[in-house]
Amino acid sequence: MTTTVVKSVTGRYHLKIDGRVVGISKHLPDDWREDYNRNQPRDGRGRWTSGGGGSRGGGRGGGGGLANKRVSELQEIAKKEGIDVDTLSHKRRKSVLTAAIKAKRKNKDLREEGLLKPVKPKGGLRGQAKSKTKFTKKPIKGEGLTGDNASVVRSKQEFFKLYDQWEKEVETQELATKISNLNIAVNNRKESIKEAKAAGDSHVTFFDNVKMDHAVLLENNRYHRKNKSLKIESKEGKTIYKSDFINQALATVSQREDGKYVSSASHLYRFGTIEAAFNTKAEANKHAKTSAEVYLATKVFPIKKVEAALNEQQSKDIGKLKQRLAEKKITDFSGENLDRIVDNKIIHRDVRDAIQYENAKALAIKDKSGNLQSAIAYDIIPSIGRKNQQETALYIEYLATAPWNAARSSDSRAARGAGARALAESIKQAKKEKADKVQLVALEGAKPFYNKMGMTYRGKEDDGYFEIAVDSSQAKTLIEKYG
């Protein structure tokens, strides 16, 4: 039986016996979670199936959180959170209730999250002025890239030539990624400070795995100048280096069976420890002491100063990046827009890779000026969920719009209807290739778009796919409107 203690990504300690987690604690060594039950039922894949132990946001099964609640229980929780359940788009759907509770707890707008019933504008039939519905974006109309305003590219060679335009936008997209990463890192650090404050600690340890700029924080961290002394303890033949203010062994020195001395110190950028062997005890002690000091200087910060430093970092570093992004004509720095930009980079590269390496077929839309506005990587497959064995579908593996369309930019190349035109062309292509349907899996944020296009959602509630029969009236309308 081998027993190991591993520090998790959330900073908790996991006690493992033969590789299986049997205890979780915030502090070493005797504060194991009281509610942890090692006999808790698990499913075939070793996941907890009920009660306790769910990891926050980790998405594992069980967990005793909202996922385990019944609809009626979720409705009660929602009411307690101040949500009018009747206004939700689906008041008996667990996914909607859970999402609404989570959004409310994060002070997000339920309407913006798409969790409320649509509001119908009043009047309009008897000459009354229609009340204006607020749109965060312009509704799609049958214009933009329809008809002769755009043409279809099917040749892979031409697609790759045009694709270079998108690759040139990656630099801009990476700026958005940096802002997004910094925002997450700073917010996570602020969360750690809150936890440390609640626990009555004077210092906070950041276990970030992200390599963000430490300059501002280090400047404010006076530890390495003011207090160079470490607490040194001896226990069971080991020399342990600790600090006065955090109850954590930062480095240890012990003698190995072969006579060598091993210094084992907390790793700076990965979880766990880093080890080094020395011939003399003095050398090992020097290594351990230096490692512990560096750890304290770069990972442990006095709460009083670090908050101000973080705010400074947020305004300085993120401010600079935003300025650079604004120069690239992107001025919407909301989390949603940054996410859309980050996701777009991945999707357009997925389109390229599927066409280049996985033998998917290409279907792209270019405007009159020769700008690549959207692209699809597709394949003809036996349709998903088919009743008839012969039924085939044009399956859209990836659909990406141009980077300037995905970002809310004032780029002159941005055009409306890039996705709609690509979809209309895919239906035409499906007819040509004698496929019965067009099928695809949409990203969460794109589901309203495909609903609007007249596609039908099939399969599991949160894991389904969209489809449209090429001979359906919806397909005909779509082609007439956007083709």
Partner 1 sequence: MVNLDRQSEGEVSASIYPIDLERKICDYYNLDDESKKEIVKMAREITPKTNGVKIDRKVYEFNLNESVKKYILG
The binder of partner 1 chosen from 54, 63, 403, 417 (CB under 8 A): 417
Return the bridge partners of 394, or none: 380, 438
Q: Tokens 């493992």 appear where? A: 16
For residue 367, the one-letter residue type is: D
Q: Of the two residues 104 and 416, which places its CB atom closer to partner 1 in the complex?
A: 416
Q: Which window, 81-89, 123-131, 137-145, 299-307, contacts partner 1 (CB under 8 A)?
A: 137-145
Contact string (CB under 8 A) for partner 1, positions 61-100, x = contact: ----------------------------------------
Q: Of the two residues 116 and 186, which places its CB atom closer to partner 1 in the complex?
A: 186
What is the footprint of partner 1 within residues 301-360 (CB under 8 A)? 331-332, 339-340, 342-344, 346-347, 350
For residue 373, give the nearest of 411, 335, 429, 338 by alpha carbon.
411
CB of 379 to partner 1, least distance (A): 7
CB of 286 to partner 1, least distance (A): 27
What is the footprint of partner 1 within residues 17-46 (CB under 8 A)? 45
Q: Tokens 């495909």 appear where? A: 450
The binder of partner 1 chosen from 240, 415, 430, 469 (CB under 8 A): 415
CB of 179 to partner 1, least distance (A): 13
Distance CA 156, CA 356 (A): 8
Q: Which window, 220-228, 256-264, 410-418, 427-435, contacts partner 1 (CB under 8 A)?
A: 410-418
CB of 23 to partner 1, least distance (A): 16
Q: Of the two residues 57 and 237, which places its CB atom closer to partner 1 in the complex?
A: 57
CB of 62 to partner 1, least distance (A): 12
194: left (phi over 0), alpha (psi -120 to 50) or beta: alpha
For residue 437, give the nearest of 401, 396, 403 by alpha carbon.
396
What is the footprint of partner 1 within residues 158-217 (CB under 8 A)? 177, 180-181, 184-185, 188, 208-211
Q: Of the two residues 6 and 215, which places its CB atom closer to partner 1 in the complex?
A: 6
296 lies in the site for partner 1, by CB under 8 A: no
The binder of partner 1 chosen from 401, 403, 425, 436 (CB under 8 A): 401
For residue 82, the one-letter residue type is: G
Burial of 417 (0-12, 13-18, 19+ CB in 10 A): buried
Burial of 245 (0-12, 13-18, 19+ CB in 10 A): middle
Q: How far is CA 117 from CA 31, 136, 259, in A?
A: 47, 16, 72
HEC profile for 58-82?
Answer: CCCCCECCHHHCCHHHHHHHHHHCC
266 lies in the site for partner 1, by CB under 8 A: no
CB of 50 to partner 1, least distance (A): 17
* CA 480 to centroid of chain Cα atoms: 37
What is the footprint of partner 1 within residues 424-483 (CB under 8 A)? 440-446, 449-450, 462-463, 465-466
Q: End-to-end distance of the chain based on CA atoms, in angstroms?
A: 66
Q: Of the two residues 204 and 400, which places its CB atom closer to partner 1 in the complex?
A: 400
270 lies in the site for partner 1, by CB under 8 A: yes
CB of 234 to partner 1, least distance (A): 29
CB of 393 to partner 1, least distance (A): 9
For residue 163, give the nearest of 430, 431, 443, 353 by alpha carbon.
353
* CA 151 to centroid of chain Cα atoms: 34
Q: Tokens 């530890």 appear where? A: 223
Burial pattern 55-88, b for ≥16 Cβ within 10 A else e, equals beeeeeebbeebeebeeeebbebbeeeebeeeeb
Q: Of the two residues 181 and 254, which places its CB atom closer to partner 1 in the complex?
A: 181
Contact string (CB under 8 A) for partner 1, positions 369-398, x = contact: -----x----x-xx-x----------xxxx
Q: Of the two residues 285 and 439, which places its CB atom closer to partner 1 in the complex?
A: 439
CB of 458 to partner 1, least distance (A): 11
